[in-house]
Structure 1
């Protein structure tokens, strides 16, 4: 059976998929599998036979317990990855449909399942501060901050400087040339010089427009996207505190850091 048919054989049967899921936890007897899968022994036996025919599982001759083969584990992990991605896509379907995803490289779009445990914070137009307020409260407890921001919120520089000077939080920010120039224009000269002389703040400039705004810290990932017309959506913010999401955010930051030049 070719790879397409193997995948079809698994995903078209809820029982076969559940058997793989059960065996991913370790070897099990037919009775133990039945208790976990919740189907008849006859149905499970058929599923086991199908999976065994494709070398996805094997039965120990002594214990009579079933377990995944190396091929079975590899295939299970791939299906688990696809399932996780689909869950993330469907859970935030409107968010993905209505925003520009071009700022996220393909290798991270493939890992979109890492964001499935996020929460989407959306506010009404008459109360724009909600995602902003949640974000500010979250960064106040962070030990390190990495972010990409092609936009400039007027109160963010003061908040970040307070963290850098007060708590000595390690901060790395990537922004665009135009935002950097505006930031320098709006900041007092003494503040700029002070920032240049502290080791825990690094500022980078990327010449392209990232078309994504996000912050990742030791506590959370906050992801904002642009609308198809090129404007930033200030009313929607995807926030996650899961380790996978934070790792995803760090990798996205490193993607842009490779394209940026340090200016401070």
Structure 2
């Protein structure tokens, strides 16, 4: 039975997606069909299997998870979401050093949802992705962490400060010192802003490359397993991803000292 249930869930995308959909509540065949893009006959064949395995049941014209189905799906859903994130960009995740991510967030990496991997060309290596720049212009709340120096970022930092965006910026000590010593005008704009808060991360803590969370976007970058930064970045626009990124940012804020 254990093998049968695992096979029932994982060996058919239609079955798996139907079960995940029904976690949100009962649905008719037409609603299931619209959600998972299949023909009525194809979906009915998979629904029949799910009923036979005791994972769903029919009441009137609607299908819903059984109690057993709810128990199993609540446990399996995080695994499915994690697999979707990793398998979609397996080569990228295989090459990342994820030691900076707290265990509880690694367990929830499926929260990143539908991600894209941004890999700039040689002419834009040291520029933030356009998606981030667009988002910064319209966001009222921004959290940013950097452990490497991006030459275009001081202007972006100061622009947020001048616009009195609710802005929290965490830098490693070397990055902070370069900002302070070489970009005086931008540094002063940040320090003079009532809504900008600058922090320096403790030197002993393991850090990723960058974290940015805006009102509608989350961006992450990690060093590769050889310790190099290759400019590849993870971008997601999903709400759960932004919450995940915000918690990741707070992990570093708790291990940082505010500059006043």
For 2:22 and 2:41, how far apart are their aligned partners in 1?
Answer: 11
Structure with larger Rg: 1
Change (3 A) 1:86 1:197: same
Return 5+ residue gaps in structure 2 as ranges.
Answer: 34-38
What's the secondary structure of 1:10's corresponding residue?
Answer: helix
Query: Corresponding residue for 2:134?
Result: 137
Task: Report if aligned partners of 1:121, 1:131 keep a CA contact under 8 Å in 2.
Answer: no
What's the secondary structure of 1:140's corresponding residue?
Answer: helix
Task: Report if aligned partners of 1:122, 1:131 keep a CA contact under 8 Å in 2.
Answer: no
For 1:196 and 1:22, how far apart are their aligned partners in 2?
Answer: 48
Query: Corresponding residue for 2:36?
Result: none
Q: What is the correspondence of 1:14-163 to structure 2 with a 5 Å cutoff?
A: 14=12, 17=16, 20-21=19-20, 23-24=22-23, 26-27=25-26, 38=42, 44-45=47-48, 47-51=50-54, 56-57=55-56, 63=60, 67-125=64-122, 127-128=124-125, 131-163=128-160
For 2:30 and 2:124, how far apart are their aligned partners in 1?
Answer: 56
Query: Corresponding residue for 1:202?
Result: 197
For 1:66 and 1:12, how far apart are their aligned partners in 2?
Answer: 20
Deviation at 1:7, TM superposition (A): 5.0
When the two structures are aligned, how many residues end up with a matched partner?
252
Task: Report if aligned partners of 1:220, 1:240 keep a CA contact under 8 Å in 2.
Answer: yes
Q: What do residues 112-171 of structure 1 show as CA deviations (whole Å, max 9, x unaligned)?
A: 222231222213335425654543333222222101111111231122112211x21111
For 2:32 and 2:228, how far apart are their aligned partners in 1?
Answer: 52
For 2:18 and 2:111, how far apart are their aligned partners in 1?
Answer: 24
| Structure 1 range deviating more: 28-37 or 176-185 | 28-37
Q: TM-score, normalised by structure 2?
A: 0.80
Deviation at 1:71, TM superposition (A): 3.9
Change (3 A) 1:191 1:65: closer
Q: Where does structure 1 differ by over 6 angstroms across 4 or more consecutive aligned residues?
A: 28-35
For 2:32 and 2:165, how far apart are their aligned partners in 1?
Answer: 50
For 1:231 and 1:200, how far apart are their aligned partners in 2?
Answer: 34
For 2:199 and 2:131, how far apart are their aligned partners in 1?
Answer: 25
Task: Report if aligned partners of 2:56, 2:63 keep a CA contact under 8 Å in 1.
Answer: yes
Return 5+ residue gaps in structure 1 as ranges.
Answer: none
The CA RMSD over aligned residues, in Å, is: 3.3
Matched, 1:256 2:252: yes
Q: TM-score, normalised by structure 1?
A: 0.78
